[in-house]
Structure 1
Amino acid sequence: MSAAPVVSVALATYNGGRFVDEQVRSILEQDPPPAEIVVADDGSTDDTVAIVRRVAAEHPGVRLKVLESVGASLGVAGNFARAIAAASGDLVALSDQDDRWHEGRLAALIGRFVSDETLTLVHHDAVLVDGAGAPLGQRLLDWLRASASERSSLVAGNALPVYLRRNLATGATVVFRRELAERALPVGAGWIHDEWLAMIAAAFGGARLDERALIDYRQHGGNQIGVAKPTPAHLVRRMLEPRGDRYEWLAARTEALLEKLQALDAPADALTLVRAKLEFEQSRARYPRRRLARLGPVLAQRKSYRELSSQGGLDILRDLLHGA
């Protein structure tokens, strides 16, 4: 019988002193605990790092590695990338500074990797809580309006078509094999670390959703990355906001993904899907600025919207209505 995989936690911090004590304790009290916690701090001016050191000292069996600020802010993706690169475990669990892991979370996810050698990345659901840790009455995937078909595809490992529409692999819920990071890093231009890793894993059929809610995902108004409530008013504002360079940005980052997957010799069907996504976003970048002139080009791509855009029919309306 092979040994259980060694787990590293990649924890990115920035002025998280208000919540980081509770989060680190919830990590260290896992059974089994991780072998190490790698903390990448992006220039905190509060006592975040001191709190982490103090709590970690109560658990000397877990190695603590602190990467101090490099000076200029790296941002969320850059800070997580260096924490991931410094992790030495067989598995890497991403961690925000303000959440709370449920008892048994790590054991449950280790079991997934032990039982499935094809699995390279797993993400799961979460309970949304407020700043005081009180449940908000909803789970993360419900909040993100993940459909039954999306969830079914992710559970079954057919994740790439889902991720090409929109990212549902929230970093705080992600655990992956270190080999994935070795292949995927650096993070492609225009991407966040979690969606990039999920996309690379999915292209090779190794990404899965575990539908259990295994952490409390805290929403307190100061999150560096959180989840916005998809209210009707929010959707209307998105439809009417100026287009800017959004389509060019979407095309550029899809091109970066395609180049990376080609370099990794990804399966042909994955490359075909990503090329279709790239062609779709490039065509959107060519839409006329005048609303009436967009009608024909937008409606000609109805099928592509269903398959490749994050909101399907709502994105058709958005692309017809948004300002120049």
Structure 2
Amino acid sequence: MVSLPQISVIIPSYNYACFLESAIDSVLQQSYQHFEIIAWDDGSGDDSLPILRRYAAQHPERFRYFQHEGGQNKGIAATYRAAVAQAKGTWIAFLEADDVWHKENLSLKAEALKKSAEAGVVFSECRPFGQMSGVLYWKLHAWLNQSFLPRYQPIDLTAELLQRNPVASFSNFMVRKDLFDQVPDPQNRILFYDWWVLAHVSLSAPFCFVPKKLCDWRIHSQSANYRKESAQSVMGLKNFLENMLDSMRLELENAGECAGTDILSKKKKIIRHLDFYRSFEIQRAGSWFFAFLTHPWETIRFAGHFLLRNLLF
């Protein structure tokens, strides 16, 4: 018999007081009750802290909240890292303060582990809602990236994560704590920290996909995911991918030439994609043309991302 895992739910809070209660209530109402909640305020200037204090007083057995020393704002990576350090569970589930879980979210993901015990990440579909243009983009993203994934079985997502994030949102997955603890910290604040975490974890463990919409993902004008792409933002994405792939390459460096074929194959794919991202400059048309000649599919995907976001947002 597979024992029920203890899950630590991490809720970061930064100026989302208007959404925070709905997020917390959606966790407390889960049918799966083997969890604790750790909320961490990242220097909010609104009423987030009074809300967190109230929930801590009402649910002292399972709700704890923290903030950075001096009420500082340190960014998402530092906030998640600090919160996970306080976690007691063997699995970490994340819920961004503007999102909402469905009642069976934790239950169905814990159930999936019985069929895929070796998985390091369990993720599901989500339901984007809110600003319609953003909703259309992320629905299309889900159809392109999740429709053909194997269900309820171990899958290697490293190749996909080298160029896109099929999981899409922090609120959409849970990860083994020991694997999260092994993920290196990024050098700077980054926008795509969920992608960073997932890509590094994929080097050492398979994922498991639950084909059900278990999270309502709010898309709104204050969201990091709601924006047009400029040359500057695409350059930021390019730089992020270079840094992420370089970090992943270093993770595999110690494997050496005696590594198994799986590790060596992943290393070759990482180096190929690194070469692609380093091969062109965003603002030079000639550089795009050269990149297309040497890496056609990667260039088409990168350009498609740029064009689609600017059409829909």
Above 0.5 in TM-score? yes
* CA displacement at 1:2 relative to structure 2: 4.2
Query: Secondary structure in 1 aligned to 2:17?
Result: coil
Q: Which of 250, 257, 280 is 1:284 aligned to?
A: 280
Check 1:115–1:226 CA distance in 2 against 1; reply closer, same or farther (3 A cut): same
| Deviation digits for residues 90-148 of structure 1 (CA, Å, limit 9, x no counterpart) | 111001111111111111111112331211112222112238xxx99968852425416
Give the structure 2 partner of residue 314 of structure 1. 304
Give the structure 2 partner of residue 322 of structure 1. none
1:185-204 maps to which residues of 2 (within 5 A)? Answer: 185-187=184-186, 192-204=192-204
1:272 aligns with 2:268: yes
* CA displacement at 1:284 relative to structure 2: 2.2
Give the structure 2 partner of residue 174 of structure 1. 173
Preserved contact between residue 120 and residue 207 of structure 1 (Cα < 8 Å): yes
* CA displacement at 1:294 relative to structure 2: 3.3
1:48-197 maps to which residues of 2 (within 5 A)? Answer: 48-62=48-62, 64-71=63-70, 72-130=72-130, 141-144=138-141, 146-147=143-144, 151-153=147-149, 155=151, 157-169=155-167, 170-187=169-186, 192-197=192-197
Preserved contact between residue 305 and residue 313 of structure 1 (Cα < 8 Å): no
* CA displacement at 1:275 relative to structure 2: 1.2
**Higher mean Cα deviation, 206-215 or 17-26?**
206-215
Give the structure 2 partner of residue 255 of structure 1. 246
Structure 1 runs not aligned, ≥5 long: 229-233, 319-324
For residue 314 of structure 1, what is the amino acid of its counterpart?
G
Query: Secondary structure in 2 aligned to 1:226?
Result: coil
Preserved contact between residue 42 and residue 79 of structure 2 (Cα < 8 Å): yes
Check 1:61–1:140 CA distance in 2 against 1; reply closer, same or farther (3 A cut): farther
Q: How many residues are treated as equivalent by the alignment?
A: 298
Partners of 2:179 and 2:125 in 1: how far apart? Answer: 21
Check 1:309–1:38 CA distance in 2 against 1; reply closer, same or farther (3 A cut): farther
Partners of 1:242 and 1:271 in 2: how far apart? Answer: 27
* CA displacement at 1:247 relative to structure 2: 4.5
Give the structure 1 partner of residue 10 of structure 2. 10
Query: Secondary structure in 2 aligned to 1:165?
Result: coil
1:217 aligns with 2:217: yes
Check 1:276–1:222 CA distance in 2 against 1; reply closer, same or farther (3 A cut): same
| Runs of 4 or more above 6 Å deviation | 240-243, 315-318
* CA displacement at 1:313 relative to structure 2: 5.9
Preserved contact between residue 118 and residue 206 of structure 2 (Cα < 8 Å): yes
Structure 2 runs not aligned, ≥5 long: 309-313
1:29 aligns with 2:20: no
Identity value in percent: 19
TM-score scaled by structure 1? 0.78
Query: Secondary structure in 2 aligned to 1:300?
Result: helix
Preserved contact between residue 247 and residue 284 of structure 1 (Cα < 8 Å): no
Partners of 1:163 and 1:145 in 2: how far apart? Answer: 14
Partners of 1:276 and 1:137 in 2: how far apart? Answer: 31
Partners of 2:32 and 2:233 in 1: how far apart? Answer: 50
Q: Which of 283, 290, 293 is 1:300 aligned to?
A: 293
Query: Secondary structure in 1 aligned to 2:18?
Result: coil
Partners of 1:50 and 1:67 in 2: how far apart? Answer: 12
C-alpha RMSD over aligned residues: 3.3
Preserved contact between residue 201 and residue 207 of structure 1 (Cα < 8 Å): no
For residue 290 of structure 2, what is the amino acid of its counterpart?
P
For residue 174 of structure 2, what is the amino acid of its counterpart?
V
Partners of 1:138 and 1:103 in 2: how far apart? Answer: 22
Check 1:163–1:244 CA distance in 2 against 1; reply closer, same or farther (3 A cut): closer
**Higher mean Cα deviation, 106-115 or 263-272?**
263-272
* CA displacement at 1:37 relative to structure 2: 1.1
